[in-house]
Amino acid sequence: MNTPLKRVTREEAENVAVGAFAFITSDEERLGRFLAVSGLGPDTIRSAASSPGFFAGILDYVVSDEPLLIALAKEMNTKPEHIMGARWTLSPSEFE
């Protein structure tokens, strides 16, 4: 039986995204992959981080990579489902 994701507040979701970004940037290999996939560069990441969709993009990136999602959940001492809930809060699907 599928259990619906617990509703995550916007503030909680943004905190998860900040934690995810810190996790990604704390490792050179993870950061390099993120920059390659996102198309951002070291010189553009600061301006991108101030855009409204940045947090949603971070979580979209994390949930698209299951090993990264699992590693982040372990690092944050939470369940992957909580990160998924945060992603849904910041970037809800029009089909849900």
Six-digit token string for 24? 């990604």
Taking 3-state DSSP, the helix, strand and coil percentages for the chain, each rounded to the nearest 5, stand at 65, 0, 35
* Contact yes or no for 68/1 (Cβ under 8 A): no
For the entire predicted model, the pTM comes to 0.86
* DSSP code at position 3: P
Residue 88's contacts (CB-CB under 8 Å, 6 or more residues apart) are 5, 8, 96
**pLDDT tens, position by position, 29-80:** 999 999 999 999 888 988 888 888 999 999 999 999 999 999 999 999 999 9
